[in-house]
Structure 1
Amino acid sequence: MTTGQDKRATRAASVLREEILQAGPGTFIGAEDALMSRLAVSRQTLRMAVSILTQEGLLTVRRGQRGGLYTRLPTSESVAHMASVFLRSQGADIEDLTRVNALVAAEAARLAAANPSVEARRTLCDLVEQADRATGSSVIDASLVISRYIGVLSGSPTLTLFTTVLSELARGGYAERILSDSSRIDACRRAHRALARAVADGDQDLAAEVIRKHHERLLGWLGSRRRMVKSSRNLTQTVDG
């Protein structure tokens, strides 16, 4: 049950949050006594508000002569980690992840191909070449680096965050279930090379189409795996029966 103090702390956090987002990282926003007076809240309420913002990655507390509250901004990695933990707790499965990623990645690829920096677009080719040389578990890491870079290259903070979240979630054993043999790894590498060429050439429609077809292939692999697991379970039940 929410108490009056909880509500006051939430309101104080909302006021400070807006100030932080406008001020940018590393800005001194006040000492505790000054903030209590300005926000007209008790010390306990202020500390509750500070705790909220600290957990959001927006505040840091410094001690000493120049102590007080200083602003900071959360990183996409920290936000992505928490989002992936939440999605796992809600039972997000690999098919859900792949379907959503198909939509997000296709739009990110389209915008990446429209990035005005030719050098930045060609950097994707370098990442793909590095991924082609990867072996073992590094294959998955290299693939996720490509996905994240596409988000950054799109120039959209929203797509950058979403691609980072989905990449973080894919680390949870999901990627290993898709890239289960060398033929699939080779198919992914071919898709990455086609995507890199399309982005380097600035071909937005082709970049989006490459991603769309790639994710159709991934979903097909997942469907095959699901049918195989179901068949194995039916066989086990028949033997046990």
Structure 2
Amino acid sequence: MTSEQPLPELHRAMYRPVREGNALEDTVARLAQTIRLGVVAPGESLPPERELAARFAVSRDTLREAIRELADTGYLVPRRGRYGGTFVADPLPQPPQPDPADLVDLDDVLGLRAVLEAGAARAAAGRALPPEARQELWARHEAAAAASEPDYRRLDSLLHLTIAELAGIPSLVPLVAENRARVNGWLDAFPLLPRTIEHSNAQHEKIVTAILAARADAAEQAVLEHLEASEALLHGFLS
């Protein structure tokens, strides 16, 4: 499995059934989250409509309406023909600036992120990870470290989601995904800073190394330090 391919469990977490009462809105939100988190990269295609409709437990008409909504806003590009399908736009549209009213929840969301992600790292470090999982985790780190600026946020998110997956608690992955999607919405409001990326990559290496060495305390502490750095940036740019 290459570093660009999300793990099957991550697909299952993102393409899970939506709520019946808000099927269209939830399908749009789930697809947007999938795009924003980089589970499907710019230029890549979504799964076939029939498969997506079945996974979301919605009708084909509802799925097509959701795809149209995201196509109209520039996030998806439907293509016809033998090699057609629904593709993620490349490049993606520039996200809007966050509404200041949304920032009221900033500390709440960041607090939840610390609980979820530090706990995920501790749990992952406490497990006997099989060789393929260990290789995948290191590959995610290397991919983020080598990422170009346009790809960095996506590959950074995939590394953190992989850690959540390796915790071995299936219901944790969608919680981390939803939380990171909210955080990324704020992070996207200001440019990536080269020196902070270098620091972030060094922290990623500490986290991954601690997990692979089964050092749960060190893994948890490394995640908390890593999250504190981005929290400082968020407060600096947005508060």
Query: TM-score under structure 2 normalisation?
Result: 0.54
- 1:193 and 1:184 map into 2 onto residues whose CA distance is 14
State how far apart, in whole Å, the 2-side matches of 1:140 and 1:201 are: 26
Asked if 1:141 corresponds to 2:188, the answer is: no
Given that residues 138 and 208 in structure 2 are in contact (C-alpha distance below 8 angstroms), is that contact kept between their aligned partners in structure 1?
Answer: yes
Aligned to 2:140: 127
Larger radius of gyration: 1
Shift of 1:221: 2.5
**How far is 1:133 from its partner?**
0.9
> Which residue number corresponds to residue 93 of structure 2?
none
Q: Distance in 1 between matches of 2:230 and 2:114?
A: 10
Deviation of 1:206 (Å) = 0.8
Give yes or no for the alignment of 1:105 onto 2:96: no
3-state SS of the aligned residue for 2:127?
coil
Question: Which runs of 5 or more residues in structure 2 are unaligned?
Answer: 1-15, 28-52, 58-62, 64-98
- Superposition deviation, residue 95 in structure 1: 3.9
Q: Does 1:166 align with 2:191?
A: no
Structure 1, unmatched stretches of 5+, are 1-24, 26-49, 58-70, 79-87, 228-241
Greater helix fraction, Structure 1 or Structure 2? 1
Residue 102 to residue 177, structure 1, CA distance change in 2 (3 Å): farther
CA RMSD of superposed structures (Å): 3.3
| Cα gap change, 1:201 to 1:54, in 2 (>3 Å) | same
Residue 222 of structure 1 pairs with residue 234 of structure 2: yes
**Deviation of 1:94 (Å):** 4.2
Separation in 2 of the partners of 1:197 and 1:148? 16
Q: Say how many residue pairs are matched.
A: 154
Structure ranking higher on relative contact order (CA contacts 8 Å, 6+ apart):
2
Contact 1:148/1:160, CA 8 A, preserved across alignment:
yes
- Pair 1:189 & 2:201 matched: yes
In 1, the alpha carbon distance for the partners of 2:171 and 2:20 equals 26
- Whether 2:215 is the aligned partner of 1:203: answer yes
Alpha-carbon contact 2:113-2:180 (below 8 Å) kept: no
Question: Partners of 1:178 and 1:121 in 2: how far apart?
Answer: 33
Q: For residues 144 and 114 of structure 2, what CA distance do their matches in structure 1 show?
A: 20
Cα offset, 1:123, TM superposition: 1.8
Map 1:39-118 → 2, pairs under 5 A? 52=21, 74=56, 91=102, 93-118=105-130
Asked whether the equivalents of residues 98 and 218 of structure 1 are also in contact (C-alpha less than 8 Å), the reply is no
**1:88-107 Cα shifts (integer Å, max 9, x gaps):** 9x836444332221111000
Q: C-alpha displacement at 1:178, in angstroms?
A: 6.5
Which residue type is aligned with residue 234 of structure 2?
Answer: L
The DSSP-based 3-state class of the residue aligned with 2:143 is helix
